[in-house]
Chains A and B, each alone.
Chain A
Amino acid sequence: MKLELSGITKRFPGVIANEKVDLTVEPGQIHALLGENGAGKTTLMNVLYGLYKQDEGEIRIDGAPVVFRDPGDAIKAGIGMVHQHFMLVPVFTVTENVMLGVESTQGPLKILDVGAARDRIVEISERHNLHVDPDALVEDLPVGVRQRIEIIKTLYRHSNLLILDEPSAVLTPQETEELFGIMRSLQAGGTSIIFITHKLNEVLEISDRITVLRRGRVVGSAIPAEATQESLAQMMVGRFVELEVEKGPAKPAGPVLEVAGVSVLDDRGHLAVRDLDLVVHAGEIVAVAGVQGNGQTELVEAITGLRSKVAGSIKIGGTEIRADPRRIFEAGVAHVPEDRLEEGLVPAFTIAENLCLNTYYLPPFADGVRLHRDAILATATELVQQFDVRTPSVFNEVANLSGGNQQKVIVAREFSRPIKLLVAAQPTRGLDVGSIEYIHRRIVEKRDEGAAVLIVSTELDEVLALGDRIAVMYRGRIVAILDPSEATPERLGLYMGGAAVATEDERSVLPNEPPAPADQPPAGAHPGGPTA
């Protein structure tokens, strides 16, 4: 299918989300769409998928103009979309999920014809090496497989243009490679793919053509052979971007966070963290790598007091802590939570209110019962400027900010007070390069000010860029602690996938202590920082 978007303009009250966007996707082309958050990628795709109606411009498929009133029209025209958040029913089998909405039936009573659907799924799965068991329950399947089910869903609906919205965000490096294999197989079969991502290395690896959006407009287009990560980043952001985190060697001092023998249950009552030991020292960044769902969330919640542990001890600054978020906050712990809209912010609150979300009861913001709105406002105005939150007013609701700016609000709140320990979970998830650069720089600054920093991230680039020590978490345990110099994406990927899980014997000899005493820089630390 040849898709042409020409002169697409979409306005929202006060904002032009897309302005005269032209985009042509040739049959069998993998076309990467790059852009910062708020650049208009999502709006453009929503126009293409029939969720929005463009104000101006035309969509043509194979030369013929089309009008999509709703996603149903777009699907009928052969457009399939794999959203970042999967739309699957966990208690259904793969086959049931795939046929949902386009059930094949037989007879006048419209009895479900599961067999026919199953056969087609097997056929699709084999054709593209998707390795999906049609009878498995979705809730039992890992994220990577769920994503492949989403792809099968679109193929089952005869899509020949696939929109993949940040597909690699939730995958391990190995799973990402598999995804790329699938994409190439689809491409060979003539399917066009629009690939939305922030990851510049992936863009260069997989795409045939790259279109860059900035502030709703197409600002450039390139083919991978002629582009570099730096040139793409510059196009996206409109200025030179430092892709590597500049950081000097860590100067670790005494231990700040001491986790010993800690076990934590998840919401379903299963052991999510098992007998885990971890020490983070002042002035160092420990980065925990791991595939989503290996107990990182529960570990962070236990450290920040949001979840009770069932065994072990957690000490901050030498004092055993109770599961009480406010006490822990007052002990000098900053927490950048994993899910910013669910945990870190009250989206319907203003920026000013969110900036004092956990300090609202302390002077100068309050005197016990009364809020001092002037102080809140003054601090908010200052922080918005200092942390470069792009907003017309501190009275704006946080819900109306872009993801990057929302994260900056959290960072501004958590970083603007003296802290001993910073716990940041997925600090740059879903952010654009400009914001990532900014937040990484701030994190390193905190380390250099002497804070102990614990980063939990599923992004290997981030782990490698920030960590002074890198811990890999798998099934509730830390299975390896590596020095950045010995950590390659491949090696981390193996640990993350559990393929290289050390036996109990091996595990006991893995370095779980700081690499060097406080007074001399660790041997492994090196000035340049690892390449991302």
Chain B
Amino acid sequence: MTGAPAPTSQPGTEQTKPTKGEPGRPGEFVRRLLVPGLAVFTALVIGAIVIVLSDQVLLGLWGSDPPGAVGASIKAVADGYGALFAGALGNPDTYVKAFSSGDIDRITRAFNPVSESLLAATPLIFTGLAVALGFRSGLFNIGAEGQLYVGAILATFVGFSVHGLPLFIHLPLAVTAGFLGGALWGFIPGLLKARTGAHEVIVTIMLNYVSYQLIIWVLRQSWYQRPGRSDPVSPIVDGSAVIPAIIDGLRLNWGFPLALAAAAFVSWLLFRSTLGFEFRAVGLNPSAARYAGMSISKTLVLTMAVCGGLAGLAGTTEILGVNKALTPGFSPGYGFDGIAIALLGGSSPLGVVLSAILFGVLRAGATPMQAATGIPIDLVVVIQALVIMFVAAPALIRELYRIKSKRTTGTEIMPQGWRT
């Protein structure tokens, strides 16, 4: 019973001034790319210094002939990075010659470097997603490595033990098994966290060790080890469980499109589904999520299971698409690179894909670079580490390039967990 009519329109009172563009528009997108982009650039610059410093001849030249050393150093760096990117992306010259010859085989071969880069990126996309999705729900999944192995164990088993099925049944079956294996390995820490509060970082690290032993154990079992072999190796998977190549003559297989589809799925899950709404709410503010009636436990368990499944697919595509048989230690740390990729990609699916491709390029280009210039492969590891360091310390990059930080309140709230 309000007596006086409520003032509905209030001329003169402030309407917050229309500020800049709407968030999520192009300007915002560029801003989000700025720090990772500069981090990569800075890492390459420092990588160049490492190239110079690690070359004995060049170092000697700096002592005897500094002006000459400048030129020689620039050449060494240019040669090194030239070889790296030519090895990863292909040589323009080769492309031109291949296309002008009109020979299909030559054209295909010209694309081999790109194929190798994307092939190297494939498992990284999966593990990157496995970590990024966890970050979104406030979980730090360090267990992608273990989840990848358990996924691979199951996928390989289905791959070699089932016979006589057509590809369109056998392969999906094996891939599903790989997903489920990883999901199981993610489900365990999720359940332990939800039920007992056991921290997922500790549990996933420990489960990584368990998975290393598990793979060695299964590879010693008569039902898993390749007949006639004494070393730990599985039988080769049936042809009907092998992920086919996209183009004959190149190693790149349909695992890569599957990884892109997984990224699209994660994107849909996070931003278009009710489940993702819960994931993100729990990740950003668990108290508010609880207030809103969401079940924190359910979200934790589900997130970890889906993360595990994604990591399991990394192992699956690696075995069914590339190695064709399981061996211990087939992953050079894809699961841990996933953490780096999720950080670099800002935990967004698109960011993860781009970061994984960058890492794939570095990885695929490393060997040709060493072959062509003698710069050790380890340079790539240094560059990767530097990229991560700069991404993890955005303040450093902002300071270095004098970028104004987004918010200037004195009481900035610390982000919970390891979110970028």
Contacts and interface: CB of A to CB of B under 8 A. Distances in A.
Nearest to A12: B408
A306 to B, nearest CB: 7
The range of chain A's interface size is 35 or more
Contact of B291 (A344, A347, A370, A392): A344
Given A248-B1, A335-B291, A397-B23, A239 B277 contact: no
Contacts of B16: 15, 390-392
Contacts of A15: 16-17, 19
Residue of B18, B276, B285 with most chain A CB atoms under a 10 A cut-off = B285
A92 interface: no
Interface in A247-266: 247-248
Contacts of B4: 242, 246
Given A346-B281, A366-B274, A392 B18 contact: yes
Contact of A238 (B6, B13, B273): B13
Given A238-B12, A370-B273, A345 B410 contact: no
A399 to B, nearest CB: 8
Contact of B293 (A247, A326, A393): A326
A422 to B, nearest CB: 15
A371 B288 contact: no
Interface in B151-190: none
A46 interface: yes
Contact of B12 (A239, A396, A397): A239
A370 B19 contact: no
A52 interface: yes
Contact of A247 (B1, B24, B408, B413): B1
B275 A343 contact: no
A325 B290 contact: yes
Interface stretch (A1-9, A356-364, A453-461): A356-364
Given A15-B19, A371-B274, A346 B14 contact: no
A227 interface: no
Contacts of A183: none
Nearest to B291: A343
A444 B24 CA distance: 38
Contacts of A46: 410
Contacts of B63: none
Contacts of B413: 347
Interface in B270-296: 272-277, 280-281, 284-285, 287-294
A441 B13 CA distance: 19
Interface in A235-293: 237-239, 242, 246-248
A343 B287 contact: yes
Contact of A239 (B7, B276, B289): B7
Interface in A387-429: 390-393, 395-397
Interface residues of B, number: 41
A329 interface: yes
Contacts, number: 115
B292 A371 contact: no
B119 to A, nearest CB: 33
B293 to A, nearest CB: 3
A14 interface: yes
Given A46-B410, A392-B19, A346 B285 contact: yes
Contacts of B274: 360-361, 366, 368-371
A353 interface: yes
A51 B408 CA distance: 10
A358 to B, nearest CB: 4
A360 B287 contact: no
B281 A370 contact: no
A346 B7 contact: no
Contacts of B17: 14-15, 392
B272 A370 contact: yes
Contacts of B277: 353, 360, 371
Interface in B1-39: 1-4, 6-7, 10, 12-20, 22-24
B273 A369 contact: yes
A325 B13 contact: no
A21 B6 CA distance: 33
Contact of B13 (A239, A357, A368): A239
B292 A358 contact: yes
B293 A325 contact: yes
A337 B291 contact: yes
B3 A246 contact: yes
A502 to B, nearest CB: 34
A306 B293 CA distance: 9
A82 to B, nearest CB: 15
B14 A215 contact: yes
Nearest to A438: B6
B19 A444 contact: no
Interface string A343-355: 1111111100100
B292 A348 contact: no
B203 to A, nearest CB: 25
Interface string A492-517: 00000000000000000000000000
A357 B292 contact: yes
Given A347-B285, A441-B2, A358 B293 contact: yes
Contact of A343 (B7, B24, B273, B288): B288
Contact of A349 (B7, B15, B284): B284
A360 to B, nearest CB: 5
Contacts of B404: 13
B131 to A, nearest CB: 19
A19 interface: no
Nearest to B275: A369
Given A238-B13, A247-B1, 6 more contacts: A13-B20, A14-B19, A239-B7, A325-B293, A346-B284, A361-B274
Task: Please list the 10 inter-chain residue pairs (A to B) with the smallest Cβ-Cβ separation, ordered nearest first.
Answer: A326-B293, A14-B19, A248-B1, A358-B292, A51-B410, A325-B293, A346-B285, A357-B292, A366-B274, A343-B291
5 contacts: A13-B19, A239-B12, A306-B291, A349-B281, A371-B274
